[in-house]
Structure 1
Amino acid sequence: MLYVHNMTIYPGQQPEGSFKLLTNGTNSVVKRLIKITDKSGKNVTINNYFTLVPLSNVLYTNLKLTMAGTLKNKALFSPQLFQVKSTILDFKEDPNNILVSYVQKRNADVLMLSTLHENDDIDSRSEASKPKVLSSTI
């Protein structure tokens, strides 16, 4: 079961007044939202706009939080990593992250970055044989 812990409106640009002092980068927005959960060992599920490798590293190493989220843009990663009908990819540049590419339909792959999961296990309860990284988060 998922619960909303904290929420803010992301206007893209801060309005005039006291909010104008706040930076609006993706890292800053996420850090403001999770401020009260720092070092609690909890997992943060993030949508594709905010899912970034540097942010996942900061959350994992500095704030002791795990993160899972879908990736918006496959272009951020080396094309050699992605093969037709690829399933599990271990993200080699950083030992804290696992990168999953799941192709359910042709030309409709889902990319997910996670510091919560540690291996490429397949969910046996899933009819589609999805990786646990996907079935336990999405």
Structure 2
Amino acid sequence: MPTPDFVLALREHVGHDLLWMPGVTAFVLDADRQHMLAVRRADTGAWTPVTGIIDPGEEPASAAVREVAEEAGVDCAPLRLVDVRTHPPLTFPNGDHAQFLDLCFVCEHTGGEPYPADGENTEARWFPLEDPPPMNDRFLAQLQIVLADRPEARFRR
């Protein structure tokens, strides 16, 4: 996945040191709430909802909408924040250290047919909610939060 320009600029100053990165996860549901959008990552081959890094000064919900358009070529509207979590620090193959704060949104599809709109993914398509794509434990847990359809966001305590 391409590294945003602002991160490259920061790396010029901090090298491989740990960067705190705000990110979004977008679970996009069709209008009937029977299907979810998923993308297959080009770097790992894993199926995921759309994810991405929030740009400096960008509203998180706007970042989710932007990432969905950039990665899957569809329009969506954010409905609500469903999950907030911090991921453990990680090290990328190039030696960069980062830790992500993830803000997970449920969004409603408003137009367009999914396709891998940028080089970050090789596929983008709808999956029935009762038969989601194979995803890691984090995304499966977040999907369960989406399916619970509770009005409040989930926070780890």
TM-score range (shorter-chain normalised) is under 0.3
The TM-score normalised by the length of structure 1 is 0.27
Structure possessing the higher radius of gyration over alpha carbons: 1
The TM-score normalised by the length of structure 2 is 0.25
Q: Whose strand fraction is larger, Structure 1's or Structure 2's?
A: 2
